[in-house]
Structure 1
Amino acid sequence: MNLNESDMKVQEPRLWSSDGWTARVVKNEDDDGWAVAMTPDGASEPALVGPWTMGRDKKNPKPLDQSAFLTLVKTAREFVRRSEQQLHAALHQSIAVTVGTARVTVCLDITPDEDNPSATLSARDEGDDLLAQVRVPPSFKLSRSSAVAWAEGGFVKPR
């Protein structure tokens, strides 16, 4: 029988691992308190680090338990989901504008890359037909005014 890392459960006072996540209670470097780091299986860095409750002796951390772990997993998953949504929204923007009597949707799609990031500006009509598509710097700022100016200018590559 071959067990995956995510199949193994650890249930210790300062370390719990189950359901694809590991919770590790660590000394808070910023003060005298404690923090809990939530790391998804296979990741080298925690997805979420937050404060952790002191135990009754006001010196040591409160031990992890099933209820706390499940709450931490739920919170970490939600945090990761929101982060992914924000990243997607930043990399894929669109604005619908009216140019003359036509409704045009202008999209900016950024492809992040450490060495060679790129971006594409495109315009589509109400029937979703591609009107224009040009490469722009990934620093291009899509706004209502830049979308209208691009469309009114005949979709010439912005400077």
Structure 2
Amino acid sequence: MSGKAIVETTQFLTFTLEKEVFAVDIARVREVLEFTSVTKVPRTPDFMSGVINLRGSVVPVVDLRIKFGMQAAGKTVDTCIIIIEIENAGEKTVLGALADSVKEVMSLEPEHIENAPKLGTNLRTEFIRGMGKEGNTFIIILDTDRVFSAEELSSMHDGSDESSSAA
């Protein structure tokens, strides 16, 4: 597992994408919003849904389905935006993560969390902190600081400078 091992009971916010259950450390979650209109920003990566106005601040919204190589889905009454604080290169950034639905806040004991699977060199798993188990269900615990690289964050904020010359 890359990143820090989980050595104490930790609370996670669980959410779904397709039929999979994911989790993020509750300490990184600022709030959960009902889906609202998202303003599309030209020349941003495909996984960038756009931006929302969060109490006067512009917050980028990322479609995690597309980011993780899943098929895009239509919005439902359960679709929500999870506002997450991430840290990259010592700088804190707030972004919204589009999820199919939020499940619950749950505690996971360290003995119920295994290392991220090693599935070969072509599959990127460095953004997975671990695999939680609840009964027969696996919960993919995300390392929110690694889900987005520094390059991706700068392209979301800067409008991707290299693509502006290709017009």
TM over 0.5: no
Higher strand share: 2
Greater C-alpha Rg = 1
- In the superposition, the TM-score normalised over structure 2's length comes to 0.28
